[in-house]
């Protein structure tokens, strides 16, 4: 029995003075008394790596826990002596595992095998390599975040983004805050506090549980003036609702649902015409930040920021981490005079962005300016992956699995854009469907989530379904390892 914490034969079971001979079978109580003390264990560990790698007080705590577990198992054992020996032999590696686990950050990378590209619970858009590098680089030192290098004077952090957005899109000004909810809140509070905002009843939506248009409106100090009905709203309904108290017309992209059948709402251009006629600004919450039209069929009904600005809205707001493909942020584009007011609101300071996020947004926009965003942003690569390449990856993964451990099938299915974009548009995909031979699908789902590199999958029809569209190709190997590890836990 080679164990680093048992030097000089002191507690090595093989030459212990308590060693049992002649077929005498010890009881659990007698075995419990032979468990070394915490100090004896620590003394034994002295030579090994654990006390060099981890703070002593943590090691002491984990030794206590480990000895508690050992006592428990001996009490329940039908062969206490054997369990003591094997428990002590396994103690050092077990301590190493529990100490590493204890110091591991709880926020960790996971493999997204759900097929939902913008999965809010999994952190939405993965960022481009260039974006991550720029964010790292800029975070490590100082930057000209709010400093004008030409003049040697104080600058504004919005300036960096504004120049880029003005080159890319028909807008005069830009600002960025913590997320789209904050952007909407900030604009409403600036332009409509104590006054009325017209919103169609068909657009009073809830997105992802915590974001509800009516609640944000109420919190901002504006009062909601509902217009039309859930399924039908006409321009005339807006016109009838306008009065001296009206500060803003808000148009919300209904994002995660679609009213079908007997329904209509005015075209954006009709609302623009009304807003100009009445001299009341029009704000559009565009949600996803889909900047330009692409050929992706699943995004055909998603309005683009370019189209919205061309239609003539005064302001548009959207998220940074949905179809824009950057870090979490809320971006507002539009008229300079309104933006100046927004920037002067003290709330702008409350929800302002940090330098790393600015750097990430700038780099993401640079990919758009370079015309390479469809190839470089992982979300567009995922949207564009063909079913045949997904199928060949699925076959490759299947080849890496023990056929005794899993029954595998390759099936047709559907992926989703997610993040409230294109709710009814599914993307044809190829799925790997697994059924473990030795345990249940729920058990496999749990083992995959709890593994050293967690994998999140769907469970459907008593199968674990892996959609490789949202798995980065370099993660395929990780997936094989995680699946093999899950099968060998028995």
Ligand X SMILES: *Cc1c(COP(=O)(O)O)cnc(C)c1O
Residues of the shown chain interacting with ligand X in the complex, contacts defined by CB under 6 A: 179-181, 207, 211, 252-253, 255, 285, 287-288, 319, 330, 420
Using the minimum distance from each CB to ligand X, give the nearer residue, 328 or 363.
328
Using the minimum distance from each CB to ligand X, give the nearer residue, 179 or 430.
179
Q: Which of helix, strand or coil describes residue 45? A: helix
CA distance 335 to 348: 17
CB of 433 to ligand X, least distance (A): 31
Using the minimum distance from each CB to ligand X, give the nearer residue, 88 or 309.
309
CB atoms within 10 A of CB 128: 25
Q: How many CA atoms lie within 13 A of 329 on its CB side?
A: 29
Using the minimum distance from each CB to ligand X, give the nearer residue, 180 or 364.
180
Q: How would you class 4 by CB atoms within 10 Å of its CB: exposed for 0-12, middle for 13-18, buried for 19 or more?
A: middle
Using the minimum distance from each CB to ligand X, give the nearer residue, 41 or 252.
252
CB of 186 to ligand X, least distance (A): 12
CB of 371 to ligand X, least distance (A): 26
- Residue partners of 73: CB distance under 8 A and separation at least 6: 83, 87
Q: How many CA atoms lie within 13 A of 164 on its CB side?
A: 21
Residue 246: enclosing H or E segment and its boundaries? strand 246-252
Q: Which pairs count as long-range contacts for 14-22, CB under 8 Å and 24+ apart, including other chains?
A: 20/81
CA distance 9 to 6: 6
Using the minimum distance from each CB to ligand X, give the nearer residue, 207 or 224.
207
CB of 317 to ligand X, least distance (A): 8
Place of tokens 């960025």: 176
CB of 226 to ligand X, least distance (A): 17
CB of 61 to ligand X, least distance (A): 39
Q: Which of helix, strand or coil describes residue 37? A: coil
Query: Quick one: which of 393, 401, 373, 399 has its CA closest to 470?
Result: 393
Q: How would you class 17 by CB atoms within 10 Å of its CB: exposed for 0-12, middle for 13-18, buried for 19 or more?
A: exposed
CA distance 93 to 246: 69
Using the minimum distance from each CB to ligand X, give the nearer residue, 39 or 121.
121
Burial 338-367 (b: 16+ CB within 10 A, else e): bbeebbebebbeebbbebbbbbbbbbbbbb
CB of 101 to ligand X, least distance (A): 31
Using the minimum distance from each CB to ligand X, give the nearer residue, 228 or 330.
330
Residue 175: enclosing H or E segment and its boundaries? strand 173-177
Using the minimum distance from each CB to ligand X, give the nearer residue, 420 or 445.
420
CB of 177 to ligand X, least distance (A): 10
Using the minimum distance from each CB to ligand X, give the nearer residue, 112 or 385.
112
CB of 56 to ligand X, least distance (A): 44
CB of 137 to ligand X, least distance (A): 25
CB of 322 to ligand X, least distance (A): 6
DSSP 475: G
Using the minimum distance from each CB to ligand X, give the nearer residue, 160 or 322.
322
CA distance 27 to 465: 49
Which residue number is nearest to ligand X in terms of Cβ? 287
CA distance 183 to 85: 62
């Amino acid at each position: 029995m080679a164990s680093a914490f048992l030097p000089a034969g002191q507690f090595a079971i093989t030459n212990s003075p308590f060693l049992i001979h002649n077929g005498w079978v010890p009881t659990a109580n007698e075995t419990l008394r032979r468990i070394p003390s915490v100090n004896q264990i620590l003394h034994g560990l002295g030579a090994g790596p654990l006390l060099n790698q981890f703070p002593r007080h943590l090691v002491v705590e984990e030794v206590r826990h480990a000895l508690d577990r050992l006592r428990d198992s001996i009490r329940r054992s039908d062969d206490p002596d054997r369990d003591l020996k094997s428990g002590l032999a396994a103690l050092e590696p077990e301590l190493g595992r529990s100490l590493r686990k204890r110091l591991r950050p709880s926020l960790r990378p996971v493999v997204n095998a759900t097929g939902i590209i913008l999965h809010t619970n999994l952190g939405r858009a993965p960022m481009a390599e260039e974006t991550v590098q720029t964010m790292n680089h800029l975070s490590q030192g100082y930057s000209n975040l709010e400093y004008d290098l030409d003049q040697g004077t104080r600058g504004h952090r919005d300036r960096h983004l504004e120049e880029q957005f003005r080159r890319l899109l028909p807008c005069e000004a830009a600002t960025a805050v913590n997320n789209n909810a904050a952007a909407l809140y900030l604009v409403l509070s600036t332009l409509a506090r104590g006054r009325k905002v017209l919103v169609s009843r068909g657009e009073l939506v809830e997105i992802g549980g915590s974001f509800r248009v009516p609640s944000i409106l109420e919190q901002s100090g504006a009062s909601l003036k509902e217009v039309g009905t859930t399924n039908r709203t006409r321009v005339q309904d807006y016109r009838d609702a306008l009065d001296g108290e009206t500060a803003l017309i808000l148009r919300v992209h209904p994002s995660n649902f679609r009213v079908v059948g007997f329904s209509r709402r005015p075209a954006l251009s009709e609302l623009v015409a009304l807003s100009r006629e009445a001299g009341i600004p029009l704000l559009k919450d565009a949600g996803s930040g889909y900047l330009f039209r692409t050929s992706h069929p699943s995004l055909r009904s998603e309005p683009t920021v370019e189209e919205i600005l061309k239609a003539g809205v005064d302001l548009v707001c959207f998220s940074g981490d949905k179809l824009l493909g950057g870090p979490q942020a809320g971006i507002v584009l539009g008229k300079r005079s309104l933006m100046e007011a927004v920037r002067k609101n003290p709330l702008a300071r409350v929800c302002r962005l940090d330098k790393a996020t600015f750097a990430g947004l700038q780099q993401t926009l640079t990919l758009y300016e370079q015309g390479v965003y469809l190839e470089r942003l992982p979300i567009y690569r995922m949207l564009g992956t063909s079913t045949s390449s997904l199928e060949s990856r699925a076959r490759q993964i299947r080849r890496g699995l023990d056929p005794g451990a899993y029954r595998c099938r390759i099936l047709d299915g559907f992926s989703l854009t997610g993040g409230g974009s294109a709710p009814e548009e599914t993307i044809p995909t190829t799925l790997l469907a697994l059924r473990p031979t030795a345990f249940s699908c729920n058990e496999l789902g749990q083992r995959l989530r709890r593994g050293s590199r967690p994998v999140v999958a769907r469970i459907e029809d008593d199968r674990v379904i892996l959609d490789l569209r949202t798995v980065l190709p370099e993660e395929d190997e990780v997936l094989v390892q995680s699946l093999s590890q899950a099968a060998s836990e028995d």
